[in-house]
C-alpha cells in the first residue's frame, strides 16, 4: 500500500521513544550523570510521583522497575529518566519525523557517549493519535461483531498485540476518550489510536539509528492500514518516501 508522508490536520498528540537498559551504576547515580549532560539543553528537573514510594518498593516491584523518576522539558520535548529507563517525547505540536528523528539520534548519541549503558534491553517507539468527535471504529478497516451484530456504536477499548516485521506492535483503540489538548488548551472527546512498536532483545547503540527508522516505518504501515480510504482522503494525504 502507498503510505502518506503527511496528513492534515495532523492527529498526533504525542510521540515517544523509550530505551530500557542495564547499567553498572547505582540507581541513585544514573540521573545525575544524565542530567549533567543535558542540563544546559533542557529545563528542570521535576520529580515524578514514583519517588514518593520507598526505594525498596521502587527497585523490587516489577511494575515500577522501568518507571522514570525525573522529567526535564524544552519547547516541544520532554525527557524522562529513571535508573533503567530513558525516554524522549515530542509533545504539543508534532515537529515532523525528519526533525524528531534527528533529535532522537542526537540525544541517543550523547547518551551513548556517557558510557553508562551496558546494554539496551528494550527499544520502543510510540505514537498516540487523537480524532476529535469521531468514533474511530466507524472510520477504520476493523470489523468487530457479536452474533453478526456490529459493535461499532458501543464504547470500546480494544488492545491487540501483533508481530510486525522484527517488532511487536501493541495497538490500542479507544472510541470514548477524553484528552487534554495542549494546543489549544482544552478537554476534547473522541477516539485514540495508540501504537507502540517495540523490540525486546540485546541492542547495541551502533544499530540504534537503523532501528529507529525501521520502527517508524512499521508504525506508519500499521496506522494507515487501519484507516478507511474514504476517511483518509479527508486528511489531504501527501505521498512520497516514508
The pLDDT tens digits for 63-77 are: 999 999 999 999 999
List Cβ neighbours of 222 (8 Å cut-off, separation of 6 or more): 164, 169, 171, 195, 197
Cell triple for residue 107? 540525544
Whether residue 241 lies inside any domain: the answer is no
Whether residue 29 lies inside any domain: the answer is yes
Q: Is 153 helix (H, G, I), strand (E, B) or coil?
A: coil
Using alpha carbons, list the distances in angstroms from residue 116 to 95, 123, 146, 176. 29, 17, 52, 42
Query: What is the crossing angle of helices 27-38 and 97-113, to 10°?
Result: 120
Q: Residue 189: what pLDDT? A: 94
Number of C-beta neighbours around residue 77 at 10 A: 18
Range of the domain at 172: 9-230
Whether residue 238 lies inside any domain: the answer is no
Whether residue 2 lies inside any domain: the answer is no
Whether residue 186 lies inside any domain: the answer is yes
Q: Point out the residues of the chain with pLDDT beneath 70.
A: 182-184, 241-242
Q: Residue 183: what pLDDT? A: 59
Long-range CB pairs of 203-206, under 8 A, 24+ apart, other chains included: 203/119, 203/120, 203/121, 203/123, 204/119, 204/120, 205/108, 205/112, 205/117, 205/120
The DSSP code for 240 is S
Q: Residue 145: what pLDDT? A: 76
d(CA 178, CA 146): 26
Whether residue 104 lies inside any domain: the answer is yes
Count of structural domains, the chain = 1
List Cβ neighbours of 164 (8 Å cut-off, separation of 6 or more): 197, 218, 221, 222
Phi/psi for 184 (5° steps) reads -75, 165
Amino acid at each position: 500500500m502507498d503510505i502518506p508522508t503527511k496528513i492534515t490536520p495532523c492527529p498526533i498528540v504525542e510521540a515517544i521513544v523509550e530505551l530500557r537498559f542495564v547499567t553498572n551504576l547505582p540507581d541513585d547515580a544514573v540521573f545525575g550523570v544524565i542530567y549533567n549532560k543535558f542540563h544546559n539543553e533542557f529545563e528542570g528537573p521535576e520529580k515524578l510521583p514514583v519517588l514518593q514510594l520507598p526505594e525498596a518498593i521502587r527497585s523490587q516491584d516489577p511494575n515500577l522497575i522501568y518507571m522514570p523518576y525525573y522529567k526535564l522539558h524544552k519547547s516541544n520535548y520532554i525527557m524522562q529518566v529513571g535508573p533503567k529507563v530513558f525516554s524522549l517525547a515530542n509533545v504539543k505540536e508534532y515537529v515532523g519525523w525528519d526533525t524528531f528523528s534527528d533529535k532522537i539520534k542526537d540525544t541517543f548519541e550523547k547518551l551513548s557517549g556517557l558510557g553508562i549503558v551496558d546494554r539496551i534491553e528494550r527499544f520502543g517507539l510510540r505514537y498516540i493519535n487523537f480524532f476529535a468527535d469521531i468514533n474511530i471504529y466507524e472510520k477504520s478497516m476493523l470489523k468487530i461483531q457479536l452474533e453478526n451484530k456490529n459493535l461499532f456504536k458501543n464504547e470500546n477499548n480494544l488492545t491487540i498485540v501483533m508481530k510486525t516485521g522484527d517488532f511487536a506492535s501493541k495497538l490500542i483503540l479507544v472510541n470514548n476518550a477524553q484528552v487534554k489538548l495542549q494546543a489549544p488548551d482544552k478537554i476534547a472527546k473522541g477516539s485514540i489510536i495508540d501504537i507502540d512498536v517495540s523490540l525486546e532483545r540485546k541492542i547495541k547503540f551502533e544499530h540504534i539509528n537503523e532501528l529507529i527508522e525501521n520502527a517508524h516505518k512499521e508504525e506508519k504501515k500499521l496506522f494507515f492500514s487501519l484507516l478507511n480510504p474514504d476517511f483518509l482522503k479527508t486528511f489531504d494525504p501527501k505521498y512520497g518516501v516514508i
